[in-house]
Amino acid sequence: MTLFIFTGDMLVMLFMVVVVVWVFWKSSDDTIKRSAEIPLKDEVREDEHAV
């Protein structure tokens, strides 16, 4: 049973890696750069919302 669960986990991990690599290869450089900047631009600065 343990081997079955381990094999299933490895197949899921392989699928996720293949999806990430496929998206990376199919996307343009601009799209990848904009996606990478999303976490950097989600902070709210105090001076932007000053009343």
In tens, the pLDDT along 38-49 reads 777 777 666 655
Q: Which domain holds residue 15?
A: 8-38
Q: Looking at the 3D structure of the chain, how many domains does it have?
A: 1
In a domain, 29, yes or no: yes
Q: Does the pTM of the predicted model rise above 0.95?
A: no
In a domain, 30, yes or no: yes
Give the per-residue pLDDT at 49.
58
In a domain, 47, yes or no: no
In a domain, 15, yes or no: yes
**For the residues of 1-51, what is the DSSP string, one character each?**
-HHHHHHHHHHHHHHHHHHHHHHHHHS-HHHHHHHHHTGGG-PPPTGGG--
Write out the two tokens for 7: 């094999």
In a domain, 34, yes or no: yes
In a domain, 21, yes or no: yes
In a domain, 14, yes or no: yes
pLDDT of 7 > 90? The answer is: yes
